[in-house]
Chain A
Amino acid sequence: MTTTENPTNAPAPEIGRDRRRKEDRRLITGRTRWTDNQAITGLLHLSIVRSPFAHAEIQGIDTSAAKQVPGVVGVYTAADIGADAVQLPCAWPITKDMKAPQRPALAGSRVNFAGEGVAVVVARSAAIAKDAAELVEVDYAELEPVLDMEDALKDGATLVHPEIGTNANAQWVFDSGEAGSGGSVAEALSAAEKDDDQVVIHRRFRQQRLVPVFMEPRSTVVDPTGEQLVMWSSTQVPHILKTMLALTLGLPENKLRVIAPDVGGGFGGKIAVAPEEVVTLLVARKLGKPVKWTETRSESLLTAHHGRDQIQDLTIAVTKDGIIKGLDVKLLADMGAYLGLVGPGVPILGAFMFNAIYKIPAYRFDCTNVFTTKTLTDAYRGAGRPEATFGIERMMDEVAVELGIEPMELRRKNWIKHEEFPYTTVSTLTYDTGNYEAATDQALQMFDYDGLRREQQERRQRGDVKQLGIGISTFTEMCGLAPSRVLGSLDYGAGGWETASIRMLPTGKAEVVVGVSPHGQGHETAFSQIVADKLGIAFEDVEILHGDTQSSYRGLDTYGSRSLAVGGIAMVKAAEKVIEKAKPIAAHMLEASEDDLEFTGGKFTVKGTDKGVGIADVALAVFAAHDYPEGIEPDIDAHATFDPENFSFPHGTHLCAVEVDTETGFVHLHKYVCVDDVGTVINPLIVEGQVHGGLAQGIAQALFEEAPYDESGTLLSGTLVDYTLPSAADLISFDTANTATPSTTNPLGVKGVGEAGTIASTPAVVNAVLDAVRQYGVKDIDMPTTPFRVWTAINSAKGTAGRGDEADVASPGAGLGSTASDISKGDTQGGHL
């Protein structure tokens, strides 16, 4: 083989390097561009008057006192600015007969959740606007709140939206028997009930309501004074927002520009066309002046969309030696008062994930979305997949307990073996690659699983106040949303492609315009590494441009762990096009045939010679354009759109040990190990950081966070005093590692990492908590497993357990020591809180 490659000049590969982030310098020195930082001369400030009632008729609004406040420019009800006629968009009509009630930007005649906006005040300062908002008098006639999903579906229930005649939004069903991807669950369950060698186990799990709690409160500034109306917004989805504003408000899209400047976290919570964004726009247009709205944290907790909130009924048929024969899943999913941008589809994403990493021959998923008079729910980190993973991984431990099988052994018996990939699941997805054995073996070793099991036994035997519990979660997720055709088949309102453009500057630097939109992920760093490698230019010479529809006109933004697995591939494709366009020009410059050229390390060289030109030389040559081949354009810039052929399927094994103080119910994280396979790693530092943050959020669901409502429909966690985010003192250092089976459906082999930690960790922690206290007769504890709940569960179970019902701590389930013998459908859950 002839080669002219000069190894001494070849730059070290960027992909795989733990580059420190380009983004950091501005962020650690305070030179930031948060939306609320915007200060435009003449800027007005908007404050929203919100309903204190969950469900009420608006009988009148008196704005006269507010209008008298010096500095107030205007006070508007919904009708004054046409906000009651707006239909905020839902992009995911999951069924043909889905009920989609109108969601106005401000309530006109009826409010449907506490916190819904009913009027706005615009003033020269935010403080004046807030003061004046206090003076707006709204006359409400209270209606019955609708709070419980099961009650809401009963005949005669109060209706959130009487005009649609039901509180059911939609019912979505997948049945593997009907789909031809597996057997009939009904048959599998009835066969199991007649078979002495099988058992049927039913469990009900509750996915509590959570709040994403991005650290930067939402903010929007609209400047209508230019030819294009400009909206700065703290959003994950500037492109979708622009198109949806055009469609929703009937504005010409060419007259809109949306900018997502620095965005301080999102976690799904900023995937929205928010009523406040629309109202700010309407007011700015009405006044012809720039207007800013920035929420308080309390407003954010009350009105920015929530996540999760499901009742899960799982029924599993399994042989007594632990082979799963069928899984039936029935969900109720709380939509809240209205449908968010993708809200109804969130639980449906879980439909493909309840079967998880297991070979399940028959599967049925039946989800009913329900309206209540609560804040609406929509995407929160993982979106449907954490709920599904929790359901199946909790169920695997329940099966292990019932059958007396070691819980990891049970999983091994059922998961897809590494040699069985690619594997088409019972829910019709084809997993391209994975190796559950490798990740698990490494995790068990890092965790010292056997050692901790021994310690657990010792503590039990000596009756230690602090009991050890060990929890497992072996998970997979579908990432890289998404193949457009698949989204089409699910009735989603858009595609799942992503776009990138590369602009080669005359000095050899590159600007890469991307359609994904970061809010903390480190895109500028990771994407620079990819493009630097592909074009053979320096990491520092790549500039990633994003988040402004004027520079990046085409994109579908950031969510669903798609930025790398879809957006990153668009960059690779664009770089390949740059090289293809540069090749004839390089050949011309080298007076060689294109066929004799090869491109390595940023340089075109003539095979068998030391003659070569760099990509920077070509960029300069087409800038001058004095001498280039006939018949081609003097331009090597390129644009590419990538539509994935499949999702990607990261997976991993998460192991958690907790200490439960049996006197106080306090749960202390003792050890957490996870080994994640996210495919090829572009930047290990960023991957590790994503896992850490994801773990913190998933653990927080298990132990700390909940957004409960009282009987009148008032949110009880309306401040950060009550919605208890973990602090540094509440968490421990995690032991993380990676295995890698590169994805075969994209050229980088990447899979996505943004959601892994959150999806996997919640069941690992809850399984651990239960593992510590099952010995007392506790069967379940609702999340979050607060000290009060754990203490109550222990004490009520101890109080009810018969003396002959002691735990079998020596069973093969080791720490799982089951007390249950009710291996039957519909068992009652003693000790359930």
Chain B
Amino acid sequence: MARIRTTVDGLVYEDDVEPRMLLVQYLRERLGKTGTVIGCDTSNCGACTVHLDGLSVKSCSVLAVQANGSEVLTVEGLERDGQLHPVQQAFHDNHALQCGYCTPGMIMQSIDLLGDNPDPSEHEVREGIEGNLCRCTGYQNIVRAVQDAAQKMKPGAHASTSSSAAQPVAGGGA
């Protein structure tokens, strides 16, 4: 067992975890953060995407111990004072979800994408979310939503809602 200390959606947690425990398992099984889901076992689907220190990661590809000392943001931590994040709102406005299983990961990845590129073309959105699979929507309305959010977040607004400094984490690239 290893002791880790993390901040998840603004709250600080300390836990003993098995070294092999994945971040997504820690979030779901230990913290009850079931908004983040598991869709595969080969890091293809992106359903488990969260932000680790401000960058999107597939939380199935990060060990919980790697998140020690880090700040994690999940889809459950996006709302501010009952206000949806603009990307959440855009997903609703543009009918960018059907079953909703891929949605948490898709939203987290889209926020990361807009942090890098506040005004992406359709092509750039499609490339930017290609690590997240959706089986329901054919992606068309997801692309619309991301571009809609980009417009709503102008001018000058930065997409990231994480307050911590962006530090790449080894092995955590989505």
Q: Mark A299-318, 1 if CB is under 8 A from B, else 0.
A: 00000000000000000000
What 0/1 pattern do residues 121 to 149 of B give for CB contact below 8 A with A?
A: 01001110111111111111111000000
How close is A255's CB to chain B, nearest CB, in angstroms? 29
Assess whether B39 is in contact with A297, with CB atoms less than 8 Å apart: yes
A345 smallest CB distance to B (angstroms): 24
Which residues of A lie under 8 Å from residue B134 when comparing CB positions? 215, 728
- Interface positions, chain B 31-85, Cβ under 8 Å from A, are 32-42, 44-45, 47, 74-76, 78-79, 84
B-contact 0/1 string along A14-34, CB 8 Å cutoff: 000000110111111111101
Stretch at the interface among A84-92, A198-206, A717-725, A808-816: A717-725
Shortest Cβ gap from A26 to chain B (Å): 8
In the assembled complex, the Cα of A720 lies from the Cα of B45 at a distance in Å of: 8
Is the C-beta of B165 less than 8 angstroms from some C-beta in chain A?
no
10 CB contacts below 8 A, A to B, read A28-B107, A30-B104, A31-B76, A215-B102, A296-B41, A520-B99, A522-B98, A689-B136, A728-B125, A731-B138
Chain A residue at minimum C-beta to C-beta distance from B37: A34
Task: With A692-B137, A693-B136 as known contacts, state yes or no: A297 contacts B95, CB within 8 Å.
Answer: no
Q: Which of B86-94, B150-158, B166-174 sits within the interface?
A: B86-94
B75 cross-chain contacts in A, Cβ below 8 A:
28-30
Chain B, Cβ-Cβ closest to A298: B41
Instruction: Return A663 CB to nearest CB of chain B, in Å.
Output: 22
Q: Are A728 and B126 in contact (CB under 8 A)?
A: yes
Q: Is the CB of B136 within 8 A of A520?
A: yes
Whether A731 lies near B39 (C-beta < 8 A) is no
- Chain B CB within 8 A of A697 CB: yes
Which listed residue, B40, B97, B101, touches A28 by the CB 8 Å rule? B97
CB–CB B92/A733 < 8 A: no
A297 touches B101 (CB 8 A): no
- Which residue from chain A places its CB closest to the CB of B18 in the assembled complex? A127
Interface residues on chain B, number (Cβ under 8 Å): 56
B92 engages A21 (CB within 8 Å): yes
Does A679 sit at the interface, judged by CB under 8 A? no
Is B42 a contact of A28 with CB atoms below 8 Å?
A: no
B91 to nearest A CB, angstroms? 5
As a 0/1 sequence over residues 442 to 475 of chain A, the CB contacts with chain B under 8 angstroms (1 = contact) are 0000000000000000000000000000000000
Partner of B34, one of A32, A263, A522, A697: A32
Which B residues lie within 8 Å of A20 (CB)?
A: 92-93, 95
* Contact (Cβ within 8 A) B137 A719: no
Q: In angstroms, how far is the closest chain B Cβ from the Cβ of A814?
A: 29
Residue from B28, B74, B97, B135 within 8 A of A725 (CB atoms): B135
Nearest A residue to B122 by beta-carbon distance? Answer: A733
Which residue on chain B has the smallest CB distance to residue A727? B130
Q: Give the CA-CA distance A37 to B28 in the complex, in Å.
A: 8
Contact partner of A29 among B32, B40, B79, B143, CB < 8 A?
B79
Q: Tell me the minimal C-beta distance from A753 to chain B in angstroms.
A: 12
Given contacts A27-B100, A215-B45, A728-B125, A692 and B40 within 8 Å (CB-CB): no
B40 A297 Cβ-Cβ under 8 A:
yes
- Report yes or no: A28 in contact with B103, Cβ–Cβ below 8 A: yes
Q: Is the CB of B135 within 8 A of A29?
A: no
> Cβ of B42 and Cβ of A721 under 8 Å apart?
yes
B133/A215 in contact, CB under 8 A = yes
Query: In chain A, residues 675-717, which have Cβ atoms closer than 8 Å to a Cβ of chain B?
Result: 685-686, 688-689, 692-697
A36 to B28, alpha carbons, bound, how many Å? 10
A729 touches B127 (CB 8 A): yes
- Whole-angstrom distance between the alpha carbons of A721 and B36 in the complex? 21
Which of B101, B132, B133, B138 touches A693 (beta carbons < 8 Å)? B138
In the assembled complex, the Cα of A192 lies from the Cα of B45 at a distance in Å of 53
Closest to A684 in B: B95
A515 at interface, CB cutoff 8 A: no
Nearest-Cβ distance from residue B51 to partner chain A, whole angstroms:
13
A519 near B99 with CB under 8 A, answer yes
Q: Is the CB of B32 within 8 A of A32?
A: no
A734 CB-CB contact with B under 8 Å: yes
0 or 1 for each of A181-214: is its CB under 8 Å from B? (1 = yes): 0000000000000000000000000000000011
Interchain CB contact under 8 A, A28 and B100: yes
Determine if A39 is an interface residue (Cβ-Cβ < 8 Å).
yes
Q: B68 CB to closest chain A CB, in angstroms?
A: 20
Taken residue by residue from 726 to 741, chain A's Cβ proximity to chain B (1 for < 8 Å, 0 otherwise) reads as 0111110110000000
Return A683 CB to nearest CB of chain B, in Å: 9
| Distance between A827 CB and nearest chain B CB, rounded to angstroms | 37
CB B31 to nearest CB in A, in angstroms, measures: 11
Give the residue among A298, A686, A727 with the most B Cβ atoms within 10 A.
Answer: A727
- Any B CB within 8 A of the CB of A543: no
A25 to B93, CA, bound (A): 11
Distance, CA A550 to CA B55, complexed state (A): 44
Nearest CB of chain A from residue B161's CB, rounded to whole Å: 13
- If A29-B76, A720-B45, A725-B135 touch, whether A34 touches B101 (CB-CB below 8 Å) is yes
> What per-residue 1/0 map shows which CB atoms of B110-129 lie under 8 Å from chain A?
00000000000010011101
Distance (Å) between the CB of A418 and the closest chain B CB? 29
**Contact present for A685 and B95 (CB under 8 Å):** yes
**Please, which residues of chain A bring their CB within 8 A of the CB of B44?**
719-721
- Whether the pair B35, A695 counts as a contact (CB closer than 8 A) is no
